[in-house]
Each structure stands twice: as structure tokens, then as C-alpha cells.
Amino acid sequence: MKQFLGRVLYFLRSMRVQVLIVFLMMGLVPLYLFSIIITNAYESRLVSQRVDELQSYGTMISNLVVSSGYLSITTARRSGRRLHRLQRSIRDALFWSIRIFGSFTTHMS
């Protein structure tokens, strides 16, 4: 066992193994660093492009809403009038249904 460990240590101390380890480190460490740098740069660019795209979509939608006059004052007035008419018709329908139902129940008893 002692001889085996001695041979392994002798092999690891040899110039060939040391040169191989140095060349591997010279190739793998920069590869790892550049892959991290490039990946982060790509992700940040992708996110910024997506943000720009969503902002342009929002701008287009807001321009369409503004140009259609959907939220303008006149539209709000029209919507208010429609809502008022709807409230009045519901109130009248409730009033007449209560009167009819009330008179129906008084005739039934």
C-alpha cells in the first residue's frame, strides 16, 4: 500500500501531469468565466428587449384607447346618462313589480 501511494505521488509530481493540469486550467477557467459573462449579458439584453416590446405594446394600446375616445369626458357623460336611464328603468321595474306583487298578495288573502 505504501509503495502504491508513493508511485501515485511520484506520478502526480511529474512534469507531464503538472503541465496537463496547467493547460486544463488555462482553458477551463476562462471558458467558465466567459460563459458566465456572456450568459448574464444575453439575459440582460433579452430582458431589456422584452421590456421595450411591452412598453411599445402599452403605448399602442393607450393610443388606440385615446383615439377612440373611450375614456373621454363626452363618453363618460354618455355612459353616465346610460347608467342613469338603466337605474331609472330598474327602479321603475322594481316599483311596478312590488305594486303588482303587493296587490296580487292582497287579493289572494
Cα 104 from Cα 96, distance rounded (Å): 12
Cα 109 from Cα 103, distance rounded (Å): 10
Cα 79 from Cα 82, distance rounded (Å): 5
Q: Which residue has the higher pLDDT, 108 or 66?
A: 66
Is the distance from CB of 17 to CB of 11 less than 8 angstroms? yes
* Mean pLDDT, residues 75-101: 78
pLDDT reported for residue 105: 53
Q: Spell out the domain ranges in the chain.
A: 1-70, 72-109
CA 27 to mean position of chain CA atoms: 39
| DSSP tag of 70 | T
What are 12-52's pLDDT values in tens digits?
888 888 899 999 999 999 999 999 999 988 988 888 888 88
For the cut 60, the answer to whether the pLDDT of residue 106 exceeds it is no
Q: What is the mean pLDDT of the chain?
A: 82
Cα 1 from Cα 76, distance rounded (Å): 93
> Which pTM value belongs to this model?
0.43
